[in-house]
Structure 1
Amino acid sequence: MASVVGISTPVIRLAIGLLQGVALLMLYQASEHKTWPATDGLVFAPLATIATFVPLIVISALGHLRLRTLAAWAVVATLLCAGLATYDIFRNSVSVVGISVVTTGLMPILPSWVMWWSLASILFIIHTLTISGEADRKLIASYPTHFDIAWKHGVQFVLAVGFVSLFWGLLFLGAELFRLIKIEFLAELIKRTTFSIPVTALAFSYAIHVTDVRANIVQGARTLALILLSWLLPLMALLGAAFVVALLFTGLTPLWSTRRAASILLVAAAALVFLVNAAYQDGRAETRAVAILRYASRLAAFVLVPLVALAAYGVMLRIAQYGWTPERITALACVIVAACYGLGYLFAALRSTTSMAWLEPTNIFTSLAIVGVLLALSTPVADPARISVADQLSRLQAGTEKPEHFDFGFLRYRAGRYGVQALEQLAARTEGPQASVIAERANQALHAKSPWELARAAAQPPTTPAQRGLHITVIFPIGATLPEGFVQQDWNAFQPRWKLPNCLVSDTPCDAILTDLDGDGQPEVQLFDRPGGVAAAFKKGLTEGTWSYLGAVLNANCSGVRDAIHAGHFETAQPTLKEITANGQRLYIGTDCVRAP
């Protein structure tokens, strides 16, 4: 299709790129000024994904798909963008009943990065399959066609990104040249989003067009990249085989002790799959490949199976021990995809001694499997948050997971709508084992202002007055003891906790100095975490037995300070610099540590 209604393809592509830039600019301005549709994430997120992906799909497909097929594919892509983005916002924006906060602080207006990545992968695969099928006029095109189209799109994207980067580099260079002669016009122009966003979209569409009509450039870059990559296959295959053999002598214990074995195994499997395809290419090149690459491909196929099997065993072992989490569900999805590759490549290696032709249907089938897996993970069908919440709740209710070890923070901050709803149910719980403890911790999670606050509260049980008395050592005056009211005060309720020395809220030691800092005849308490950390001062309140936080002790972590304080080598001194009073507030200079001579 060289043209549409008499308009040339280059003009149409550039027009679409310009319209995309204008649409993205309007969305950006709405988000900056907090106007509709940026006030509603359920509207803004679908518009943002549609404006990002659909124009690129049309630009890339123009000239390669019949108009009817192109329109149908554009509609499907639009529905995918809108549906997945809407669900992502829906699951991640939930107000807690009775509390004016949301799981993410504010209602998000953009999908999560995971959704962006998943959506891009889904669209890329379907786009490649659609154009390949159109090229061969078949539902499932031949493997060489699939290979050529997929690599062409990948190289086009890389070259387009490089072109846009160089384009902006030259604009910035030109702006600096004009600034040398005191002309600021270009420098000011490229700072404006009204210029930068549309121009970037226009430049990207132009790069896609040039790389499309200059197919020999793309093919040459692809060929060079594949030749270089294919010669890394023997190295990776030998390393993988050596690792598998070494396991026979070391056993699996060192492997699992790393606590990240499954992820490394899956990355190694992915590297083998990628390099095998670099050597095999479109299938026609495989028969021309040198013997070492053919043997390396077969060795890699045999190594893939144990690597994937070990990764699957590691993931299932963690699931059996600790239940489902989003990370483990994602890891299991990766294992499923890797297993498709591993079994298909093994069959290809066993079926023939001269060619791995079964690699071709394996790649096509697995690409469809990837689309299915990503769609399931991105929808309620297999939403990692939904599955994880249901599993963790069942473990808690069954007593497999004790309330003191249960991750309420996961429900509050990492499980979206499903997690918050589960917390509200647990907070209202009145029956069952340890119902009151569970309800208390669930309420604490619902009212937490940050994950950090919740994690610290969960990690540090309330400290008793007796414990504080044991943790704090008064080093001045010698033989003195802490005021009774200071020890008895409930410092666990103080917020924010990070301002307090740890000895007031946890099982850690402190040094204390009792000295009159304000000249009222009453000693203030200064606490210093040992061996280092927070240092703060406290003053006796007007009410008997109460104490208030005065502020942090600056420079307490300078070199040698803690040692001198612990040894009793210190004295009171007047401020070196005067202070300024403004609106009742005292402004003082916090000087840096003095350098050691």
Structure 2
Amino acid sequence: MADGTQGLPGRWSYGALGGGAGLAAWLLFELLPGPMAGMTRLHLLLSSFGTAFFIAALAMAGALRLGRALAAAALLALPMAGLMTWASLRFDTVAGALDDIVAPAAFAALLVLAPPFLIAGFSPGGRWLDYGALFTRSWEIVVRFSAAWLFVGLAWGILFLSNALFGLVGLEVIEWLLELEPVPYLLTGLTLGLALAVVGERSEYLSPELMLGLFRLLLPVVLAVVAVFLLALPLRGIGHLFGGLSAASILLATAFGAVTLISSAADAGEACRPRGALAESCARLLALLLPVLAALAGTAVAMRLGQYGATPERVLAAVLALLAMGYGLGYAVAALGRRHWATGVRRVNVAMALTAMVLAAGLLTPLLDPQRISAADQVARYADGRVPADKLDLWTLGHDWGRAGQAALERLAAMEDGSGGEAMERQLAALKGAASRADFELARRGRALADDRNSLAMTLPVRPEGATLPEGFVAGLRPWEVRQISEACAARTAGGNPSCVAVLADLSGARPGDEILILAQRPGEGPLLRAYFPEAGGYTMRSPDYLGGADPYRDAGAAIDALIAGRYDLRPMRLNALEVEGRTLFFGR
């Protein structure tokens, strides 16, 4: 074991620390929210401090003596709590701040990255930037917490089983204890602390080398996947990568996964680095491909920013892309070196970890305020004519981006630059009178929605030939349904028909009259397939159940062509079903 206490006293120390963490969690998240309803910022400060303090203390207690671990945890938790509370001032309410994805993510990043540096610095004779200590302690924390949480889950499983066993003989003592509010928190913290103590005592049996060795086995596989992807990309075309942020997410996840695998091959130092030619060669080749992955991810994020403007999520994605590029360039330079490439990787890891902590802290300060950056960008896009008033997401600006978004609305209202002022006035008026996003979308579209309904009624093919849609059916469709079906009708199937169709058919013998089947296929999207059953005052929408035949979602275009051509039958059954292109559908009674 490291510089911690051993034996029974050590276990009790860990158990007490874990139990204290559990009680603090109960106090902060269950007991105090009511009495502190009017002091939400103070409650956020205390909650952030408690979360950071106890997690960091439990993480560092295995490598530092308990007193040093507590001091280091307090040193970390206080500024983190301050930063989190400072970031919450971007919003009128703490609830709005916690709904934001960026601030909690930055808080978590600091909590993950900082403890290894504190362990290295607070260890006797330790050095803050000693890579060997940083690498070893980081992986030790991962392994210890993984094993400890596994034990916590096992302990709770045994507890529930014991409660069930006692229930067979009428004993309810465990159930009574668990109904006491602080008990679940206390038991979880206590078992976690004891588990961490035992894992620390048995560190020679649960070494990070096990996980690192498994990661190294993945190096050839990941290298092959990345190489095949990059080779196939020119054949498929690069353009399809940049249609959305999801491509950037996949590329970023792959890039950071590659960073982890390359670091596992570099290990903590030359003395312990594995000498296998395969693992080393794969790590160096993957390091050379990493800048390409990072560049593709950055390009995807940049194009999304150019197309739709900044949002807090895209600002966070841009920060991650910058980090990925930093790792990629640093690793590639190290891999090109003839000797000591792993030493270069280690230097890059320290520099990039420090950079990541600076950026994470920056996201919690006005320096990198993602709401302010996003709001300013959206206003600029409107002011220079890149986006019209009716395409600007005013609801998100006013309700999701805190005070920066509200200030942006004020700037938009005050603009007198000829960039569509009357249209903006109408949009702002619709926003002011809307109680929900749906109400706002209805109000902002106004006449445009009525025009869309009329256009859809004229362009939607109806079968059987000569049939017409019931009066009021299109008027009863929700705005998003009108938009989806209209976009489908504007496209064409392989047979040259509109990529939408409505079929009137008696799909329910228990109900008089016809139901309405809608099948539509928007470009690049999954098909819309549903039936509308008449009810008092409107229609009930149903998705189909399948009785037989091929999946109609696989080739909706062929089914649309067949329906328009009249190639379908209505087969009587206990429940009427629709047959088209070898498929049988029913929609219930």
Q: Distance in 1 between matches of 2:259 and 2:162?
A: 44
Is residue 413 of structure 2 the alignment partner of residue 404 of structure 1? no
Partner residue, 2:146: 158
Once the two structures are superposed, the pairs formed by residues 29-178 of structure 1 within 5 Å of their partners are 29-30=30-31, 35-62=34-61, 64-65=63-64, 70=69, 73-93=72-92, 107=95, 112=100, 114-135=102-123, 137-178=125-166
SS in 2 for 1:35: coil
State the TM-score, normalized to the length of structure 2: 0.75
| Cα pair 1:30 1:37 within 8 Å, conserved | no
Q: Distance in 1 between matches of 2:481 and 2:381?
A: 36
Q: How many residues get paired?
A: 517
Secondary structure of the equivalent of 1:324?
Answer: coil
State the match for 1:515 in structure 2.
none
Once the two structures are superposed, the pairs formed by residues 451-470 of structure 1 within 5 Å of their partners are 451-455=437-441, 461-463=448-450, 467=454
Residue 28 of structure 2: aligned partner: 27
Q: Distance in 1 between matches of 2:352 and 2:280?
A: 22
Gaps of 5+ in 1: 95-105, 513-525, 538-549, 564-568, 570-592
Which structure 2 segments of 5+ residues have no match? Answer: 490-500, 505-513, 520-529, 547-562, 564-569, 571-585
Displacement of 1:154 in angstroms is 1.0
Matched, 1:230 2:216: yes
The CA distance in 2 between the partners of 1:235 and 1:307, in whole Å, is 16
1:520-553 per-position Cα deviation (integer Å, ceiling 9, x unaligned): xxxxxx997967566677xxxxxxxxxxxx7345
- How do residues 524-563 of structure 1 correspond to structure 2 at under 5 angstroms? 551-553=537-539
Q: Tell me by how many angstroms 1:373 deviates.
A: 1.3
SS in 2 for 1:216: coil
Structure 2 residue matching 1:211: 3-state secondary structure: helix
Alignment CA distance shift 1:117-1:557 (3 Å)? closer
Query: Which piece of structure 1 moves more, 183-192 or 201-210?
Result: 183-192
Question: 1:559 and 1:2, CA in 2 relative to 1: closer, same or farther beyond 3 A?
Answer: closer
1:325 partner amino acid:
T
Using the TM superposition, give the Cα deviation of residue 50 of structure 1 relative to its aligned residue in structure 2, in angstroms.
1.9
Counterpart of 1:281 (choices 267, 282, 293) is: 267
1:269 paired with 2:229, answer: no
Q: What SS does structure 2 have at the residue aligned with 1:215?
A: coil
Shift of 1:56: 2.9
**Counterpart Cα distance in 2 of 1:480 and 1:225:** 66
The CA distance in 1 between the partners of 2:253 and 2:215, in whole Å, is 16
Question: In the alignment, is the contact (CA less than 8 A) between 2:62 and 2:197 conserved in 1?
Answer: no
CA contact (8 A) 1:377 1:383 kept: yes
Q: C-alpha distance in 1, partners of 2:274/2:542?
A: 71
Letter in 2 for 1:359: V
CA contact (8 A) 1:534 1:552 kept: no
Contact 1:178 1:184 in 2 (8 A): yes
Distance change in 2, residues 1:78/1:467 (3 Å) = same
Q: Provide the residue aligned with 1:208 in structure 2.
A: 196
Identity of aligned residues (%): 26
Give the structure with higher Rg (CA): 1
Q: Is 1:430–1:436's contact at 8 Å kept on the other side of the alignment?
A: no
SS of corresponding position for 2:85: helix
Q: Is the 8 A contact 2:29 2:47 kept in 1?
A: no
Give the 3-state SS of the residue equivalent to 2:342 in structure 1: coil
Give the Å deviation of 1:365: 0.7
- Indicate conservation of the 8 Å contact 1:46/1:81, yes or no: no
The alpha carbon displacement at 1:455 in A equals 4.4
Distance in 2, Cα, partners of 1:110 & 1:274: 29
TM-superposed CA distance for 1:350, in Å, is: 1.5
- Aligned 1:364-379 pairs, distance under 5 A: 364-379=350-365
Task: Specify the alignment match of 1:518 in structure 2.
Answer: none
Match for 1:213: what amino acid?
E
Report deviation, 1:438.
0.8
Report the counterpart of residue 516 of structure 1 in structure 2.
none
Alpha-carbon shift at residue 129 of structure 1 (Å):
0.6
Instruction: Mark the CA change 1:24 to 1:239 in structure 2 (over 3 Å): closer, same or farther.
Output: closer
What is the alpha-carbon distance in structure 2 between the residues aligned to residue 283 and residue 107 of structure 1?
A: 45
The answer to whether the 8 A contact 1:529-1:535 is kept is no
Distance 1:257 1:558, change over 3 A: closer
SS across alignment from 1:140: coil
Q: Measure the CA separation in 1 of the matches of 2:9 and 2:469.
A: 89
Q: Counterpart amino acid of 1:273?
A: V
Residue 197 (structure 1) shift:
1.2
1:470, distance to aligned residue in structure 2 (A): 5.7
TM-score (norm 1): 0.74
Pairs within 5 Å for 1:312-461: 312-353=298-339, 355-427=341-413, 432-455=418-441, 461=448
1:361 aligned counterpart, secondary structure: helix
Per the TM alignment, residue 80 of structure 1 is displaced from its structure 2 partner at its CA by 2.8
SS of 1:357's equivalent in the other structure is helix
CA distance 1:470–1:360, shift in 2 (3 Å): closer
**1:235, 1:554 → 2: CA distance?**
50
